[in-house]
A and B are shown apart, each in its own frame.
Chain A
Amino acid sequence: MFALSYDEQDALAAYADEYGVTFPLLSDPKSEIIESFGILNTLMDADDHPWYGIPFPGTYVIDADGIIIAKFFESNMAIRANADQLRRAAIGEEVTIEPLSEPPSEVTADVSFDGESLAVGVVRDLLVTFRVPEGQHLYGEPVPSGMVATSVEFDESEGLVTFDPQFPPTHKHTLSGTGEELQVYEGDVVVRIPITHNQRSIEKLDDGSRVVRVSGTLRWQSCDDEVCHLPVAQPFELALPALRSNTPEFRRKEGSTRMDTPTHFAKMTERRKEPQ
């Protein structure tokens, strides 16, 4: 784990001390590395002190050979990936789907939450698992005319922030009768939907706990090579434990010295004003 910013080394040292950071915080005060990666935030003016020099924030996950295997970038600075997502990408862990005791006779779908709680601005995934009986399929894009696509729709919520669903790749399926080629999903299909919240819809329950409700409708239509079943619209609702903080796991180290933020900030403001 390495983290790089345009902060001066002494600011990173103070921060590492205050929060007990155990991995290297790398200093790129002239934003040279940030620029060499092509991720300097060029929308800020060079004379807009002290903001100029920050990257479009994001994370690279690399394998043992140093090859990038995953990237996490958001355009909005209030939104960021969750540590579990990064860790999972680094170790290549996938969701385990419990095998069913007996094969399903019709398509089933359920929605679960990949995580324990939803913190403000921190992205976690909803997992929608479709189990498609052998011999049947669901439709991916392009959906044949007259058929219903596999989709996830959310109900309006001013507090929930949802991103595009990440569907797995489709399989090519050739209908035995007509020879028509279709893009389909078969077997167990897991759709990931990144979500977060902006704390507008936190609901306090009687036991004092806080939740964010996530509701919507799953739609699909299953077919085999001969017949198609009627389209299904299945509502779902989950109450996810909600956190108001965006850094819930991040606490000051006990007994540490608070960093002198105003002084570091003043220094950042001044440093680029000096003649180069």
Chain B
Amino acid sequence: MLEKEMFAKQHESGGWEDEFGMIGPFQQGFGPRTNPKPGHPTGPDIGQRLPDIVATAHDGAVIDVHKARAGAAAIVVFFRSAVW
């Protein structure tokens, strides 16, 4: 069972401070600031083949990551959002 990181301290600026002293508008443990405690799932392990990813890219092209990298090494980033 995953546990939420709940450390939060109200900062004088009105924001909320997390366990590393990072200040954000949301309180840790709620909404967009819902982080797990360390040791959360990180997907396939080192040594495994990256599972297939086929998705539509920003320009509308359908990209198959393993085909598109054309035999080269690659970096695949899973990021939060381009909007917020």
Contact = CB atoms under 8 A, between A and B. Distances in A.
A21 interface: yes
A36 B44 CA distance: 10
A51 B32 contact: yes
A24 B23 CA distance: 31
Contacts of B5: 75-76
Contacts, number: 214
Contacts of A56: 36, 40-42, 78
Interface in A26-58: 26-28, 33-34, 36-39, 41-44, 48, 50-51, 54-58
A50 B82 CA distance: 13
B81 to A, nearest CB: 5
A69 interface: yes
A3 B77 CA distance: 4
A148 interface: no
A9 B58 contact: yes
B21 A42 contact: no
Contacts of B83: 7, 11, 15, 261, 264-265, 268
Interface stretch (A59-67, A99-107, A204-212, A214-222): A59-67
Nearest to A19: B82
A198 interface: yes
Interface string B62-76: 010110110111111
A13 interface: yes
Interface string B29-45: 00111111111111111
A156 to B, nearest CB: 12
A24 B20 contact: no
B22 A62 contact: no
B53 A33 contact: yes
Contacts of A50: 84
A38 B2 CA distance: 13
Interface residues of A, number: 73
B33 A61 contact: no
Contacts of A55: 78-80
Nearest to A17: B58
B76 A62 contact: yes
A25 B46 contact: no
**Most interface-central of A55, A71, A75 (chain B CB within 10 A):** A75
Contact of A60 (B33, B68, B76): B76
Contacts of A21: 58
A71 B42 contact: yes
A147 interface: no
A61 to B, nearest CB: 5
Given A39-B42, A67-B48, A24 B78 contact: no
A56 B77 CA distance: 11
Interface string B3-43: 01100000000000011111110000001111111111111
24 contacts: A2-B53, A2-B63, A2-B65, A7-B83, A12-B57, A26-B57, A36-B51, A43-B35, A51-B31, A51-B34, A54-B81, A58-B42, A60-B44, A60-B75, A62-B75, A66-B50, A66-B66, A67-B48, A68-B44, A68-B45, A79-B20, A121-B22, A196-B20, A200-B21
Interface of B: 2, 4-5, 18-24, 31-51, 53, 55-61, 63, 65-66, 68-69, 71-84
The 3 closest A-B pairs by CB, nearest first: A12-B58, A15-B82, A198-B21
